[in-house]
């Protein structure tokens, strides 16, 4: 099962979007678990649970994007921003599609042996 983690300051504002994304994944029978967490809890979540296949940051923590990419670069997974527009409109289908596309592209890079992920 694939895992997508959504991060924000407290994990509360992304929880609604994560829930809606999970409903979309379930409707399409995709084996994906989508969960929201506070950004500061990510290291302990990764340590206690399985590694995510993608990390998406809410727009309110945009300033943490590069720090997050550097801190977790060894995971070699997509770490990306959720657009302000999609976040504000709770466009769960679009955000899920973007995450799935990023995961697919990441897998293709790994399969091709490209280290610059």
Q: What is the pLDDT of residues 92-115, one digit of tens each?
A: 999 999 999 999 999 888 887 765
CA 81-87-88 angle, to 5 degrees, is 145
Token pair for residue 74? 């060894």
21 or 117, greater pLDDT: 21
- pLDDT of 117 > 60? The answer is no
Q: Do residues 44 and 73 make contact, with C-beta atoms less than 8 angstroms apart? A: no
Closest by alpha carbon to 58, among 33, 79, 73?
A: 79
pLDDT on residue 50: 79
What pTM, to 2 d.p., does this model score? 0.90
Strand order across the beta sheet in which 32-38 lies: 32-38, 2-8, 54-57, 79-81
Decide if 8 is catalytic.
yes
- Separation of first and last alpha carbons in the chain: 22
Q: What would the pLDDT profile of 32-89 be if each residue is shown by its tens digit? A: 999 999 999 988 998 888 799 999 999 999 999 999 999 999 999 999 999 999 999 9
Domain ranges across the chain: 2-112
Q: What CATH superfamily classification does 2-112 receive?
A: Response regulator (3.40.50.2300)
At 65 the three-state DSSP class reads helix
pLDDT on residue 113: 74
Residue of 4, 6, 7, 8 marked catalytic: 8
């Amino acid at each position: 099962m694939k895992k997508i983690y959504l991060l924000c300051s407290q994990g509360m504002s992304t929880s609604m979007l994560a829930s809606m994304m999970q409903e979309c994944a379930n409707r399409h029978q995709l084996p994906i678990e989508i969960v929201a967490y506070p950004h500061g809890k990510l290291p302990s979540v990764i340590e206690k649970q399985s590694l995510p296949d993608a990390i998406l940051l809410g727009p309110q923590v945009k300033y943490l994007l590069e720090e997050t990419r550097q801190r977790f670069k060894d995971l070699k997974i997509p770490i990306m921003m959720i657009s302000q527009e999609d976040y504000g409109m709770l466009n769960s289908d679009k955000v899920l599609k973007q995450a799935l596309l990023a995961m697919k592209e990441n897998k293709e890079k790994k399969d091709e042996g490209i280290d610059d992920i």
